[in-house]
Amino acid sequence: MVDSTLKVTLTPGLSETLAEIARTEGRSPELVALDAITEHVAANLEMRAKILRGEADIAAGRVLSHEEAMAELARVLDAADKAKKQH
């Protein structure tokens, strides 16, 4: 894969913030921006993967109704409350 260049126009406020972060971290604004873009892309891909898993769960019928979920939550909270009172 070949490196590519992307030209981005920053608002003055964002540019100043980026420069301040770069100064604080002792890095170039370009590296700070690259890290931010890399983290954003990774988070976006992770979110998309979670959505796909959720859609697969729905398609396979691995779902609970709201009522079932609330009943399960109540059971878990009750059990935690009882365990807390025993200690």
51 within some domain: yes
Domain count within the chain? 1
Cα-Cα end-to-end distance for the chain? 58
| Residues 20, 9: Cα–Cα separation, whole Å | 17
The phi, psi pair for 68, rounded to 5°, reads -65, -40
* 1 within a domain of the structure (yes/no): no
Structural domain of 66: 12-86
DSSP state of 1: -
Residue 41 covered by a domain:
yes
69 found inside a domain? yes
Q: What is the pTM of this model?
A: 0.70
Residue 75 belongs to a domain: yes
Residue 48 lies in a domain: yes
Q: Does 68 map to a domain? A: yes
Q: What is the pLDDT of residues 23-79, one digit of tens each?
A: 999 999 999 999 999 999 999 999 999 999 999 999 999 999 999 999 999 999 999
